[in-house]
Amino acid sequence: MKKATSSEVTICGHTYDEYIEMVKAFHGHVAPGMALSGFMVDLACRNLPQGEYFDAISETRKCLPDAVQLLTPCTVGNGWLRIIDLGRFALSLFEKYTGNGVRVYVDSRKLGDWPELKGFFFRLKPKKEQDFEALMAEVRLAQASIFGLQEVMVNLDSVKTHHRGAFAVCPLCGEGYPEDDGETCLGCQGKAPYLRCEAPGSRGD
């Protein structure tokens, strides 16, 4: 990632407008949280410690994971992004072998000058009463000024991905599943989210 040299607002090497277009394509709509998240990922990337390989942690499920996936090589699917849902709007990028990294969070003490942002962040008014344009303008003006930056050392044991054990064929559904889950797969143990799950047209009614 290149360090920005001009005074133009950039997010990980993209102009702000480019980033907003990327958000539309990936996230479906321009959420204020996505604009905020772009600046957070950018700040983290500018402050990475020494190292070559970085993993990411998002402390929320909302917006921030999508910004990490848009702007860094870390995704949920490749395992380099973990969501540890602490309910805090914060992320860390850390060197994967040492755990050394940086954490960026929204500093609630710095929101005083930004009424729309503060209202949005603390959900002080219902969504339909929010002034979307004013909110987006504040996010763009505030940029990284409302964030805090910390150095962190991640407990690597706590983010280790489980190596999967042996797989078996479930006697009920016939699909592969981790043997450790029991006699049948978790889906057949009643944990599947479906009210109905069958071959197309097999209802016969």
Instruction: Between 93 and 185, name the residue whose CB sits nearer to Zn ion.
Output: 185
- Residue 61, classed as helix, strand or coil, is coil
Element (H, E) at 67: helix 64-71
Q: Which residues bind Zn ion (CB under 5 A)?
A: 170, 172-173, 184-185, 188
Question: What tokens appear for 133 in the block?
Answer: 């344009």
Instruction: Between 18 and 183, name the residue whose CB sits nearer to Zn ion.
Output: 183
Shortest distance, position 204 Cβ to Zn ion, whole Å: 23
Instruction: Between 124 and 172, name the residue whose CB sits nearer to Zn ion.
Output: 172
Closest CA to 40 of 111, 106, 134: 106
Cα–Cα distance, 128 to 72 (Å, whole number): 32
Instruction: Between 43 and 170, name the residue whose CB sits nearer to Zn ion.
Output: 170
Shortest distance, position 189 Cβ to Zn ion, whole Å: 8
Shortest distance, position 201 Cβ to Zn ion, whole Å: 22
Shortest distance, position 164 Cβ to Zn ion, whole Å: 17
Report the chain's terminal Cα–Cα distance, integer Å.
Answer: 58
